[in-house]
Amino acid sequence: MITITTTEALQGFCTRARAHPYVTLDTEFLRERTYYSKLCLIQMAVPGDADEDAVLVDPLVDGLSLEPLYDLFRDTSVVKVFHAARQDLEIFFVEGDVFPQPLFDTQVAAMVCGFGEQVGYETLVRKIAHEGVDKTSRFTDWSRRPLTDAQKIYALADVTHLRDVYEYLARDLKKSGRQEWVEEELAVLTDPATYTVVPQEAWRRVKTRTNSGRFMAIVKELAQFRETFARDANIPRGRVYKDDALLELASTKPVNLVDLGRSRLLLREARKGDIAEGILAAVSAGLAADPKTFPKPDTSRDNLQINPAIADMLRVLLKAKSETAGVASKLIATSADLDAIAGGERDVVALRGWRRKVFGDDALRLCNGEVGLVARGQTVDVFEI
C-alpha cells in the first residue's frame, strides 16, 4: 500500500492519472470538533491492478502541497469520480477554491440508473462489483498517526471498487442516454453557492414556532453572531450555543450577564467572555432593529389550497413514472413538491429539466383535467380525457 507524503510523489501520481480517462477519489476527515472539515486522508485510484494504481495521500504531512491534485482537478480530459461527493467537494472548495471538472458522482448516477434513493457505496459494490466492503474502520480517528494497515485497507477499498462501479454506471447512462440527467444534478454540487455560508442568512436554518417580527429580528442577530464566531474560531456552531438556547435567548432577551446566568440552556462557557458579549450585543441589535428590516420567513406555500385528491393522484402518477423510468421517485419529486403542484404552485423543481419530461408534463395535464389514471393489472397508465 503506497502512501504519498511529498509534493513530488503526488505530482508523479497526478501526471500518471492524466494518461487515464478517469480517476476515483475519496477523503477521510473529521468535523466533530471544528467548523470546517479537517482533511485527514485522500484516496486515489486509476484503472489497473498494480500497487501503484491506487494510493493514499497524507495531507497532514508538513510540506505537502495539494496543488498537483488541484491541477488535476482543472484538467477536463480526466473524469473525477466520487461517491456522495458533497462533503468531499466542500473540503476542496474551502481549502483550494477549486472543483473537480468534469465530475461524476456514483450515488447520483445510481439513482438515475434505478438503484434507489441515496444508495450507499457498500450496496453498489455488492451489486455491481460483487465484492464486500469491510467497514470496521469507518469511525476511527483519521487524524491519528501512524495509520494502521486495517485503516489503509479500508480507505483504499473506497476507491478501488469505485472503478468497477463507475464503469458500470457510465455504460448504463450512455446506453440509456441519460448522461445529461446526471450532469444537471451535478451542477448544484459544483456551484460555489452550495458551500458559501452567509452569516446574515444563518437564521433561515433555525426552526421557530413563531414568526413574530421582533422575535425573528433577535433570532437573526443571534444566528449571525453564532455563525461568524464559530467560523472565525473554527469550532462547531453547537459549541457556541445550540438552537434551543438561541430560541430561549430570543424569548428572554437578556440585557446583562446576570440575565444570561438565568438561562437554562446556555452552555457555561457562553455565559462569560467574548460569547457572552456577542450574545448581549446581538440581542440589543435585534431589539433596536427597524421593523422594516425584520426577517420574513418564506410562507409562500403555507396558504396553498391543496386539493387532497389531486395530491393523491400525483403520488400515484409519480410512482408509476418512477417505475417506468427506473429512477428513484424522490429524485424526481419530493412530497412537498407534489403538494405544491396540487396547490397550484408551478415554480417547482419537479417541473423543470429532465424531471419535466419524465413526470412534470403529465403532472400538469393531470392537474388540468386533460389526462386520467387507469390501473391495468400491476401497472398504472395515463389516458387522455
CATH fold for domain 2-194: Nucleotidyltransferase; domain 5 (3.30.420)
User: pLDDT tens digits for 24-40?
Assistant: 999 999 999 999 999 99
Instruction: Give yes or no for residue 347 having a pLDDT over 90.
Output: yes
Q: Which residues in the chain belong to E strands, given as ranges? A: 2-4, 22-30, 38-45, 54-57, 79-82, 103-105, 371-376, 379-384
Q: In the structure, what pLDDT confidence band is assigned to residue 300 with cuts at 50, 70 and 90?
A: low
Three cell numbers, residue 254 = 437578556
User: pLDDT tens digits for 55-89?
Assistant: 999 999 999 999 999 999 999 999 999 999 999 99
- Which of 96, 98, 70, 62 has the alpha carbon at shortest distance from 10? 70
Could you identify the residue written with the cell 444570561? 260
Q: Which residues in 69-143 belong to E strands, given as ranges? A: 79-82, 103-105
Enter the pTM of the model: 0.89
pLDDT of residue 299: 67
DSSP structural state of residue 262: T
Q: What is the mean pLDDT of residues 158-181?
A: 96
Q: How many whole angstroms separate alpha carbon 374 and alpha carbon 384?
A: 10
Q: How many whole angstroms separate alpha carbon 107 and alpha carbon 145?
A: 30
Residues 123-158 as b or e (16 or more Cβ within 10 Å = b): ebbeebbeeebeeebeebebeeeebeeebbebbbbb
Three cell numbers, residue 331 = 429524485
Q: How many whole angstroms separate alpha carbon 125 and alpha carbon 140?
A: 22
For the chain, the domains span 2-194, 199-293, 308-384
Cα maximum dimension of the chain: 71
Q: In the structure, what pLDDT confidence band is assigned to residue 302 with cuts at 50, 70 and 90?
A: low
pLDDT of residue 263: 95
Of residues 136 and 164, more confidence is placed in 164
Instruction: Give yes or no for residue 379 having a pLDDT over 90.
Output: no
Going by DSSP bridges, is the β-strand pair 22-30/38-45 parallel, antiparallel, or unpaired? Answer: antiparallel
- CATH of the domain spanning 308-384, picked from 3.90.550, 1.10.150, 2.40.160, 1.10.3470: 1.10.150
Instruction: Give yes or no for residue 252 having a pLDDT over 90.
Output: yes
Instruction: Give yes or no for residue 307 having a pLDDT over 80.
Output: yes
Three cell numbers, residue 29 = 476527515
Q: What is the mean pLDDT of the chain?
A: 94
Three cell numbers, residue 251 = 424569548
Of residues 139 and 176, more confidence is placed in 176
User: pLDDT tens digits for 261-280?
Assistant: 999 999 999 999 999 999 99
Q: How many whole angstroms separate alpha carbon 25 and alpha carbon 103?
A: 11
Q: What is the mean pLDDT of residues 368-376?
A: 93
199-293 and 308-384 in the same fold:
yes
pLDDT of residue 23: 98
Q: What is the mean pLDDT of residues 191-206?
A: 94
- CATH of the domain spanning 199-293, picked from 1.10.10.10, 1.20.1090.10, 3.30.565.10, 1.10.150.80: 1.10.150.80
Going by DSSP bridges, is the β-strand pair 79-82/103-105 parallel, antiparallel, or unpaired? Answer: parallel
